[in-house]
Amino acid sequence: MEMIASILSSVLATGPFLAMIGSSILGVFIGALPGLNPVMAIALLLPLTYSMDPLVALAMVAGIYNGSMYGGAIPAILLRIPGTPAAIATTFDGYPMAQKGEAARALKIACWSSAIGGTASAIALITVGPLLARATLAFGPAEYFWIAVFGMASVGVLVGTDAVKGLMAAVFGLLLGTVGLDQLSGVPRYTFDQTWLLSGLDLIVILVGLYALPPVLSLAEKADLSGLSASDLKLDNVRVLWSEVKSLIPTWIRSSLIGISVGILPGAGGNVAAFLSYNATKNASDDPKSFGEGNPRGVAAAECGNNADNAASMIPALALGIPGNVVAALVLGALLIHGLQPGPQLFHQNPQLVGGFMVEMLLTSLIILIVGGAAATRVFAQVQRLPGVLLVPTVLVLMAVGVYVINGRVIDLWIMFAAGACGYFLEKMEVPLAPIVSALSWADGRAEHPPRPADQPGGLQ
Angle of helix 296-312 relative to helix 351-367, nearest 10 degrees, comes to 160
All residues at 6 or more sequence positions from 181 whose CB lies less than 8 Å from its CB, including other chains? 187, 188, 189, 198, 199, 200
pLDDT tens, residue by residue, 385-420:
667 677 778 778 877 887 787 677 888 889 888 988
Reference 331, options 17, 43, 52; nearest CA is 43
pLDDT of residue 286: 85
Round the CA-based radius of gyration of the chain to a whole number and report it.
21
pLDDT tens, residue by residue, 216-239:
787 778 766 665 565 555 555 566
Of the chain, the end-to-end C-alpha distance in Å amounts to 34
**Residues 34/73, Cβ–Cβ less than 8 Å:** no
> What is the average pLDDT score of the chain?
77
Long-range pairs, 37-41, Cβ under 8 A, ≥24: 37/68, 37/72, 37/83, 37/84, 37/85, 37/204, 38/64, 38/65, 38/68, 38/69, 38/84, 38/327, 39/204, 39/326, 39/327, 39/330, 40/204, 40/405, 40/406, 41/68
Beta strand ranges found along 18-123 (DSSP E): none
Angle of helix 54-71 relative to helix 2-11, nearest 10 degrees, comes to 70
**Residues 247/438, Cβ–Cβ less than 8 Å:** no
**Residues 75/32, Cβ–Cβ less than 8 Å:** yes
List the pLDDT tens digit at each of the 461 positions of the chain. 677 788 888 888 888 999 999 888 888 877 776 556 676 677 667 667 767 888 888 898 888 888 888 888 887 888 787 767 778 888 889 889 888 878 788 888 998 999 999 999 999 888 876 665 455 556 667 766 776 677 667 666 655 667 788 788 888 888 888 888 877 777 888 888 888 888 778 776 787 788 778 877 877 787 666 655 655 555 555 666 777 788 899 999 999 999 988 887 765 566 778 888 999 999 988 888 888 888 999 999 999 998 998 888 887 777 766 666 667 777 777 777 776 766 666 767 777 888 888 899 999 999 988 876 666 666 665 655 667 677 778 778 877 887 787 677 888 889 888 988 888 888 888 887 777 776 776 665 434 444 434 444 333 33
